[in-house]
């Protein structure tokens, strides 16, 4: 079969899911084209994936670890034009390659293109419920309203109400919605999923989609007589302000050894119990060598913590409801600890509690990781679902 797959390039979480899907498709002998942009596209090229360049649909921004939904929407004012351009490019490629099915990871243009092409169309997401009111603000009126609200410093929750409709649109164009997470009750994103029956009928829990479901990361050489803590910030630039706070907190915890890996680091340095690294060829081997992780609360980062079987302190972007929900659920399931951006100074206490409960956390993480490598391998399950759908309609 031939698959056309497109993914959101904001951060690299969506990319890591599609790398896992790429592994599963290769196992089954299928062909696939992966559409992306920016850093995400470059990562997929390095993985040897067959790539195709498309346009971004949104642009996320913020400052000091805080996600700013107002600024993000205003910065994305070209979205309608980008959607049309993306739709045109992707619709052409779908026809040119003779695709049998279309898979979108969080992109509206792709599900529209697949639906209009009359092909089985699948939407990968870890959120299908948006608790925002719908207001009749459209087109240029929407942009003017958002700019006024931004200048007036209207609370983000009020602005979120303006974006419910476009966020919900992809589900109407999709035949099935694939949730790249464990089945209930172990679902990290469970609080973010719609309880409506129409949505439930087209929702499938595949299990995590990640390359770690296929192979364990080989630990990097990182020797220390102390518990090792790897700190990463993900791909969002507005988290840069957190670096200084983490460095200060690490210096107050001599019983741990820290490695902070981020392009926010200006140059590599070793300072006491702290290793600063601007660039690591591969982060996963160092995560595998660590005892504990400090990570953003993006869905893919949380999944990697589980698959690596490493207890983590998860730090959601302030004002980002999805990440805040992920972090709360991660802690509720007994996998690790949640710490807000404003609580970074308390990192020592969170890590000490992780260490005290390490055996308990590791037991729960191990059981979920085993499921992900077996019955809840999300990439393999997603491919089987799509295969079955395509075969069913071939007559």
Q: Give pLDDT, residue 77.
A: 44
**Which residue's structure tokens are 């490598």?**
373
pLDDT at 162: 46
pLDDT, one tens digit per residue, over 70-127 is 455 545 444 577 788 999 999 999 999 999 999 999 999 999 999 999 999 999 999 9
> Are residues 94 and 88 in contact, defined by beta-carbon separation less than 8 angstroms?
no
Residue 222 included in any domain: no
Same domain, 255 and 386: no
Query: What was the pLDDT predicted at 376?
Result: 97
pLDDT value, residue 139: 44
State whether 362 and 250 are in the same domain: yes
Q: Provide the pLDDT for residue 320.
A: 83
CA atoms within 13 A on the CB side of 253: 23
Q: What count of other Cβ atoms lies within 10 Å of the Cβ of residue 350?
A: 22
CATH number of the domain where residue 11 is located: 3.40.50.2000
Q: Are residues 38 and 76 in the same domain?
A: yes
22 located within any domain:
yes
**177 located within any domain:** yes
* Same domain flag for 385 and 332: no
Domain that holds residue 251: 228-373
Asked whether residue 113 is domain-assigned, the answer is yes
pTM for this structure?
0.85
In this prediction, the residues of the chain whose per-residue pLDDT falls under 70 are 58-79, 130-167, 234-241
Same domain, 269 and 325: yes
**Claim to verify: residue 356 and residue 386 sit in the same structural domain:** no
pLDDT of residue 87: 94
Does residue 74 fall inside a structural domain?
yes
H or E element, residue 367: helix 358-373
**Within a domain: residue 345?**
yes
Task: Look over the chain and give the mean of its residue pLDDT values, rounded to a whole number.
Answer: 86
3-state secondary structure 63-101: ECCEECHHHHHHHCCCHHHHHHHHHHHHHHHHHHHCCCE
Query: Do 348 and 234 fall into the same domain?
Result: yes
pLDDT confidence of residue 135: 32
| Rounded Cα gap, residues 76 and 278, in angstroms | 29
Please give the angle made by the CA atoms of 230, 231 and 232, to the nearest 5 degrees.
Answer: 120
| Domain assignment present for 137 | yes
Residues 9 and 150 occupy one common structural domain: yes
How many distinct structural domains can be found in the chain? 2
């Amino acid at each position: 079969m031939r698959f056309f797959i497109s993914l959101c390039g904001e951060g690299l979480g969506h990319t890591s899911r599609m790398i896992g899907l790429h592994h599963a498709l290769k196992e089954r002998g299928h062909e696939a084209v992966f559409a992306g942009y920016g850093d995400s596209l470059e990562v997929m090229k390095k993985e040897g994936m067959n790539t195709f360049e498309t346009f971004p649909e949104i642009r996320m921004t913020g400052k000091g670890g805080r996600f700013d939904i107002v600024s993000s929407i205003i910065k994305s004012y070209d979205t309608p034009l980008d959607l049309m351009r993306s739709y045109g490019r992707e619709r052409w490629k779908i026809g040119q390659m003779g695709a049998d099915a279309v898979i979108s990871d969080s992109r509206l243009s792709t599900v529209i293109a697949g639906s209009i092409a009359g092909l089985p169309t699948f939407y990968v997401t870890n959120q299908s419920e948006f608790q925002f009111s719908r207001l009749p603000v459209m087109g240029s009126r929407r942009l003017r309203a958002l700019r006024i609200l931004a200048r007036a410093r209207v609370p983000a929750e009020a602005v979120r109400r303006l974006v419910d409709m476009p966020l919900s649109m992809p589900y109407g164009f999709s035949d099935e919605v694939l949730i790249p997470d464990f089945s209930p009750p172990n679902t990290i994103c469970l609080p973010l999923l719609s309880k409506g029956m129409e949505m439930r009928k087209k929702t499938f829990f595949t299990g995590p989609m990640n390359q770690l479901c296929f192979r364990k990361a080989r630990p990097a050489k990182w020797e220390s007589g102390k518990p090792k803590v790897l700190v990463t910030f993900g791909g969002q630039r507005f988290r840069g302000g957190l670096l200084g706070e983490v460095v200060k907190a690490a210096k107050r915890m001599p019983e741990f050894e820290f490695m902070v890996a981020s392009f926010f680091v200006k140059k590599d340095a070793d300072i006491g119990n702290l290793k600063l690294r601007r660039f690591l060829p591969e982060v996963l081997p160092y995560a595998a060598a660590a005892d504990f992780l400090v990570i953003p609360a993006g869905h893919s980062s949380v999944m990697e913590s589980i698959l690596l079987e490493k207890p983590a302190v998860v730090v959601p972007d302030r004002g980002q409801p999805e990440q805040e929900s992920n972090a709360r659920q991660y802690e509720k399931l007994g996998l690790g600890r949640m710490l807000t951006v404003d609580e970074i100074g308390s990192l020592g206490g969170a890590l000490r509690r992780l260490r005290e409960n390490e055996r308990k956390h590791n037991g729960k993480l191990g059981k979920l990781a085993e499921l992900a490598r077996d019955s809840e391998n999300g990439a393999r399950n997603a491919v089987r679902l799509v295969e079955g759908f395509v075969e069913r309609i071939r007559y």
